[in-house]
Amino acid sequence: MGNKGTCSAAGCEKDVQAKGYCPRHYSQWRKGKMPKPRYKSCHAEGCHKPRDRRGLCTEHYAKEYSKAKGAAAEAPAAPASA
């Protein structure tokens, strides 16, 4: 197998496996932990999961928007006008 170059991560001199990274940094890239992640990640603080809807992962979206639906269901209905 020919040498594809050295890892593009700062301070790493190992041989490239894929996408310009060595095996260790490629694994981190796939998990979304490198400065330029594989996918756009969830906007929730500390969450690196892929976004699903409205900038949030599936888990954070469910938590955020189930609260909104619950609050709307608890509010009293407006009286109908005649």
Interatomic CA distance for residues 77 and 61, integer angstroms: 26
pTM above 0.85, yes or no: no
Per-domain residue ranges for the chain? Answer: 1-38, 39-72
DSSP 34: S
| Two structure tokens written together for 27 | 């694994």
Interatomic CA distance for residues 39 and 32, integer angstroms: 7
E strand intervals along 1-82 = none
Phi and psi at residue 72, to the nearest 5°? -70, -35
The arithmetic mean of pLDDT across residues 48-68, rounded, is 84
Residue pLDDT, tens place only, 29-45: 887 777 776 667 788 88
The pLDDT score that the predictor gives to residue 1 is 47
The pLDDT score that the predictor gives to residue 14 is 92
Phi and psi at residue 45, to the nearest 5°? -60, 125
